Structure 1
Amino acid sequence: MTTAMFKTGMNRTILNQDFFQTIVDRALSPRTAWTKSWSEEELDSSASILSNISSGDDDEDEDYDVDFGPNEHSSSSNSNRATLQTSQSADEPCPMNDMTGHFLYRIEYQQLPKTIHTRYPTSTHSPSSPSSSRTLSIATTSRPEAAAHTEEGQLWVVIKSKPIDTALIELTNIMAQLQGGDIAEEYDQVKDLTGFRNSHIREIELAELAWQVGGAMERISAKVYNVLRNDSQQLYALCLEYLNPALGNITHMNSTETALSTWSADDIHLALRDLASFHAQFLGQEKRILEMSFLENPTRPMMKVLRPTYEAMVKTNHKNDPDLFTQFLSQHMLDYLAHSDEYWATLERSPRTLIHGDFNTRNICLRLDQTTGAQQLCAYDWELACCHVPQRDVVELLSFVLPPGSTEWPHYIEYHRLALQVSLESQRKHTGSVRHGRVPSSMEYYEVAKIALMDFASLRVAMYGISNSFKQVDWLPRILSSVEAQLKRMGPLRSRRDKVLHESKL
């Protein structure tokens, strides 16, 4: 099914020559190609950035193809020739359900003669200071006269248009209200603190951060060619590379259902190695990360506020499906939440970094490096990135790629720790600067990983459970089994003299 990003009556002037020229410049390098035309194409959900594609009825959706004639130019005075005009006011908000989703575009470009010059697009905005309306600025090049001496090509991209955060917050609150009981009352009071605030701008800001810092963060992220932000229209979008396994350079995409057979030991090592290089880039820079206002960072004080809500969530999940959220698992979750102040004191003493926050087989793949021919990690959907211990990303990945009861968890956790140490030293030598990151000892790292696993289970997995009561999450039983089996192998987080789990809290 073909989906249209902007339906009849929507303002499409933003998808103009400047917008697509910026994409071509960033994808191919500046001053090398000129954008001829672009068109929306049918998007196969199995090859898309996300498995859930927003789509409308075939009768209502439209394809738009914009082509420049031989004598037309892309200067600002003529940009209206490249855009479809609408009667909607530029300041009129766009309905969320008409503008959110993933949309595939094919861009036709023509290589420029070396004598033709363009300016590379630049952004003048800091990631920590959002503006009311923003796209990357660019001065485009007119159609070259000597077209016969240049080559033509195609570039496929996905435009990911995001709903405003208040829509997601209200959606999750509605699910909580439909559950009734304590969770309905508790969730309504803290709905703005559950990780979705600023989710509509977070990926945009992180894309700009990756452009600024480069290095491992830019290397492991899905390539972002352009961003759009218009607060008056509630329009927030990114233009990403098209990750298409059919091209032969992408593997392990959308592999959650087949993860146990798809992800080999070598693949897991590769993912953890590249993840560690990203973690090392921000390790020990908690102050800097916590000052990024677009992030929703979990903290010890915040956990005190959220604790009653997640306790109600765990109890609701156990009541709704006691076979899925077992007595053992639910009681461990409640014990963690009851002592979350103590555990978060430990987490905040441990080195933290910028983490992906949703690091699992739904949001990562492996791709072939065109330069070296080696595989490397590619992570996308960064909406839940935050400041946390690096082990939080690790335990989430292991919950998805290792079978329940696996004895390999300690090995992979230690492998990530060693890779983090190597990456930190390598970055210190490369930059010549003194980084503040500290890699804990093996024992300390493993103990914090146990807390990170309980944090993942008690917060994120508990929320999955609420979603599962409305729409079945097919992979959730395996994840819960994996978490429960690992908790049994790891042992209690605290010593028996602390009376862990002596009384049932269900």
Structure 2
Amino acid sequence: MKTSNYFRPGFIEKLMQDHQPENEIKVQSVGQFHVDNSASILSTLNAGSTGLEIGHFGLEVNFTKNKKNCSRRMVMKVKPHGDVTSTMLLGLAQMNGEPLTSVYKPFAKLTGFQNTHIRELEVYKKLGMPLQPEIFGLMEDRQNNIFLVLMEALEEVELLNSVMQPEKWTEEYIKESLSAIASWHASNMEAPKSLNKQYWNEDVPSKEYMLKLQPLWRGLLDNAVENLPKIYTPENTQRLRWAIENISEYWDLLEKQPKTLIHNDFNPRNMCFKSLENPPKLCLYDWELATFHVPHYDVVEFLSFVLPPQHYHLRTGYIEFYRQELNRLTGNYGNEQLFKKVFYYAALDFGLHRFGMYMMAHSISPYPFLPRVIHSYFDTLKQLSLITGNLGS
């Protein structure tokens, strides 16, 4: 099935009608407009790796809803199967050479990407919330490996694709983001029953999972040190090496903490603010990496991305702001010292997993934003280690 078939009025009408069975949808015409795919890392990496055209496609859809004329600009997201993405990432590991090539292969389907084709559809279908984009249709065709999301075009928004502009992330935007994600975390504690758990199985972070992948964490860290030695200094790397050798110790604490459905890609590449709202409202998209972990994990990532060096000193204040928001909503985070200790341990996990994977790709095709973000991340470890008693130093 060619991607062009997805743009036909009849196909779009069926998508929309299936998604809104309570309404009568009739699509008259579908036009196209250009959408920049460069901000989507998975789309970029998967380009050319499958017979389908993968990525985001802009559609101008004219339709009637209950006989009322409507026109909306939408984006069709055509997703690769997780097998394709996992195979592509194995190819990146092989391009990095030994020892990563041999170390990576046994864990190729355990790094969190194997079910990316279906997790996002599950979240949009079953956990729709105000911070997500408006969804017009979803399609899951396993026989033909077709997985589609038809969503609103994110226009008239602020801070879209602002990963290279951390200076634009003012205190107002940062606090609004932390409040919104705290609300999400509080609402989705302990695995929402509506989700199909088979898509969150072997690769959900746990003590057992982290120990099983211990050889991979070592390989990814060695690869990162080799490719970015000015940031992966001996002092910075020491904390992550301590983490690898002490997974059992710090996960003994993490295992006891409440888990929630985290976005797991919570950064300016996947978020914007709808400027027509007053005040502007966070919109968070690209949920394919969503998984279960302590809620602190998302905040580790977010603050690493949005804080430039001159604002590093504000990090602990933002962490405390988030803790208070989450505690207000759940009543479970009143112990500030414990919260920061868990935050530090979540940050160790983040550095081993997410930045290890990022660096594997960065060494082949550099991401301009990544050195700055990793530098900010290591400042997180430095600040929290001082507060929590020099853990891992």
Superposition TM-score, scaled by structure 2 size: 0.89
Does 2:23 match 1:23? no
Which residue, 289, 312, 316 being the options, matches 2:219?
312
The letter for the 1-side match of 2:110 is L
Contact 1:165 1:199 in 2 (8 A): yes
Q: Which runs of 5+ in 1 are unaligned?
A: 58-93, 114-149, 212-217, 426-437, 502-506
Q: Which residue of 2 aligns with 1:36?
A: 28
Correspondence for 1:376: 281
> Shift of residue 293 of structure 1?
1.8
- In 2 relative to 1, CA 24–335 (structure 1 residues): closer, same or farther, beyond 3 Å? same
Q: Report if the CA contact (8 A) 2:103-2:215 is conserved.
A: yes
**Structure 1 residues 369 and 305, CA gap change in structure 2 (3 angstroms):** same
**Residue 494 (structure 1) shift:** 7.3
1:107-506 pair list within 5 angstroms:
107-110=61-64, 112=66, 152-211=69-128, 218-244=129-155, 248=156, 250-259=157-166, 261-283=167-189, 285-286=190-191, 288=193, 292-295=197-200, 296-368=203-275, 373-404=278-309, 406-424=312-330, 438-491=332-385, 500-501=392-393
SS of match in other structure, 1:158: strand
C-alpha deviation, 1:343, in angstroms: 1.4
Question: For the Cα contact (< 8 Å) 1:395–1:452, is it kept in 2?
Answer: yes
Post-superposition CA distance 1:448-481 (Å, at most 9, x none): 1111122111211121111111001101111121
Q: Cα deviations across residues 85-108 of structure 1 (Å, max 9, x unaligned)?
A: xxxxxxxxx982433111111111
CA distance in 1, matches of 2:274, 2:347: 28
Judging changes above 3 Å, is the alpha-carbon distance between structure 1 residues 112 and 197 closer, same or farther for their aligned structure 2 residues? closer
- By how many angstroms is 1:439 displaced? 2.6
Higher Cα Rg: structure 1 or 2?
1
Check if 1:6 corresponds to 2:10. no
Which residue in 2 is equivalent to 1:98?
52
Using the alignment, how far apart are the partners of 2:291 and 2:220 within structure 1? 22
Aligned-partner Cα distance in 1 for 2:222–2:387: 21
Residue number in structure 2 paired with 1:131: none
Structure 1 length-normalised TM: 0.70
Contact 2:9–2:27 (8 Å) recurs in 1: no
Residue type of the partner of 1:199?
T
Give the Cα separation in 2 of the matches to 1:390 and 1:419. Answer: 12
Write the distance in 1 (CA, Å) between the matches of 2:145 and 2:207: 32
Q: Which amino acid aligns with 2:50?
A: M
Question: Secondary structure of 1:323's partner?
Answer: coil
Counterpart CA distance in 1 for 2:164 and 2:180 is 23
Pick closer, same or farther for the CA change 1:235–1:398 going to 2, 3 Å: same
SS at structure 1 position matched to 2:187: helix
CA distance in 1 between partners of 2:285 and 2:301 (Å): 15
Judging changes above 3 Å, is the alpha-carbon distance between structure 1 residues 111 and 170 closer, same or farther for their aligned structure 2 residues? closer
Is residue 354–residue 386 contact of structure 1 (8 Å, CA) maintained in 2? Answer: yes
1:491 is paired with a residue whose SS is helix
Task: Give the number of aligned pairs.
Answer: 389
Matched residue type, 2:3:
F
User: 1:19: how far off?
Assistant: 3.8
* Larger helix share, 1 or 2: 2
What runs of 5+ residues in structure 2 fail to find an aligned partner?
none
1:203–1:383: 8 Å Cα contact kept in structure 2? yes
SS of structure 2 residue aligned to 1:45? coil
Q: Aligned equivalents of 1:478 and 1:13: distance in 2? A: 39
The AA in structure 2 aligned to 1:313 is L
Deviation of 1:327 (Å)? 1.8
Secondary structure of 2:137's partner?
Answer: strand
8 Å contact 1:24–1:35 — kept in the other structure?
no
Task: Rate the CA distance shift 1:154–1:463 in 2: closer, same or farther, 3 A.
Answer: same
- For 2:296 and 2:3, the matched residues in 1 are separated by 41
The whole-number CA distance in structure 1 between the counterparts of 2:88 and 2:256 is 35
Structure 1 residue 13: Cα displacement: 7.6
Q: Deviations over 1:351-404 (max 9, x none)?
A: 21111011001111111465xx33211101111111111110111100011123
DSSP-derived class of the 1:349 partner: coil
Whole-Å separation in 1 of the counterparts to 2:25 and 2:375: 52
Partner of 1:215: none
SS of the residue aligned with 2:78? strand
SS at match of 1:226: strand
Cα RMSD after superposing both structures: 3.0
